[in-house]
Amino acid sequence: MKSEPTLLLHRGRFLDGAMRIQRVTRAEVLAALRGSGAADAGSVAAVVLETDGSLSVVRDAGGAGNVGTLEGLAATRDEAW
């Protein structure tokens, strides 16, 4: 079985379908944001559920077209980012 990182929040928008599939609550994502020092969800590029179960907060690189470390992460089928 191969596990892949899952995008849970992108540019301030919770990806509810992905969160439901991965059984992660908004409270858990918000706790990860607080733990990283982020004041609000819109101040980061993304929150990613890693293959080891940890939540990574990816800081905004400043450019809407920049992908950076988010490259290769797919949104769920019903949620485009």
Residues 6+ apart with CB under 8 A from 8: 14, 15, 18, 19, 22, 24, 29, 46, 47, 48, 49, 55
CATH number of the domain that 48 lies in?
3.30.240.20
Is the predicted pLDDT of residue 78 greater than 80, yes or no?
Answer: no
Which domain, by its residues, includes 30? 6-60
Find the mean pLDDT for residues 8-32. Answer: 96
Confirm whether 30 is domain-assigned: yes
In the block, tokens 């992460």 appear at 73
Q: Which two tokens stand for residue 1?
A: 């079985």
Amino acid 73: pLDDT: 74
For residue 62, the model assigns a pLDDT of 62
Joined together, the tokens standing for residue 46 give 């993304």
Judge whether 44 lies within some domain: yes
55 occurs within a structural domain:
yes
Q: Does residue 71 lie within any of the structural domains?
A: no
State the pLDDT confidence band at 12, using cuts at 50, 70 and 90.
very high
Domain count, the chain: 1
